[in-house]
Structure 1
Amino acid sequence: MTRSEFDAWCAVLPAATHVIQWGGASVWKVGGKIFAICSSWDAGAGERISFKCSDLSYALLVQQDGFAPAPYLARAKWVQMQTSDALGDDDLRSYLAAAHNLVAATLPKRLRAQLRLDAGA
């Protein structure tokens, strides 16, 4: 998944907002809390995607080739996809949607309602 595909997918998630920070990283948030990041840390190393995940997904993904605990965020169960072929695009989209849902679920009830994140629940 390219950075533009990453941004396009995250943009369709409910109440997702986008900022560029930390030296050009594409940072996606819901309710002001980050759920996914696409960044280029090392010149020529390509882009790396980091996202929040469940305890189980974290335990499985950090053991998989192409993944590592996300720098500065691993204690909160974030992983970093370090190679573009570590996951297929469909699987990555599923993990990004799950990251969005995990973070949205931690928001105060009033904010979730204001952002219309509880619609249909």
Structure 2
Amino acid sequence: MTRPGFEAFILTLPRATLVRQWRDDSVAKIGGKIFALLDRDPGEVWLKVSDMAYELLTELDGIRPAPYFARAGWVAISAASPLRGDEVEAYIAEAHRLVASKLSRKVRAELGLA
């Protein structure tokens, strides 16, 4: 996934924000919490997934536990994975939903997500 494509898709998600941090990675947040990022080197999409998806996805070629984030149920999806672009986007949207659902009731209400 390219940076322009990643960033454009993120901005279609309700109340999602983008920042560039660390090594100029594109980092997607909801309510100040990270739900996905584009690691420009080596060019992977890192995102939060459910426990079941973590187990299934990490069995596929081109998908690995995300460094530093794996303990929180994150995967790193490379361009070599068998997932199509629309499937990666569906996982990003689910990551957004998962992280948003863990925000406090007050923060969700402030964001209009309650």
> Counterpart amino acid of 2:13?
L
Match of 1:15 in 2: 15
Q: Can you list the C-alpha shifts for 1:38-70, whole angstroms capped at 9, x where unaligned? A: 0123xxx4x111000000000000110110000
Query: Is residue 67 of structure 2 the alignment partner of residue 104 of structure 1?
Result: no
For structure 2, the residue ranges without an aligned partner over 5 or more in a row are none
Q: Can you list the C-alpha shifts for 1:64-120, whole angstroms capped at 9, x where unaligned? A: 0110000000000000012255310111111000000000000000110110112xx
The equivalent position to 1:72 in structure 2, one of 68, 75, 95, is 68
**Stretches of 4+ aligned residues off by more than 3 angstroms:** none
Match of 1:24 in 2: 24
Change (3 A) 1:53 1:17: same
Do the aligned partners of 2:65 and 2:75 also contact (CA within 8 Å) in 1? Answer: yes
Do the aligned partners of 1:67 and 1:83 also contact (CA within 8 Å) in 2? Answer: no
For structure 1, the residue ranges without an aligned partner over 5 or more in a row are none
Equivalenced residues, count: 114
The equivalent position to 1:52 in structure 2, one of 15, 30, 48, is 48
Do the aligned partners of 2:61 and 2:81 also contact (CA within 8 Å) in 1? Answer: no
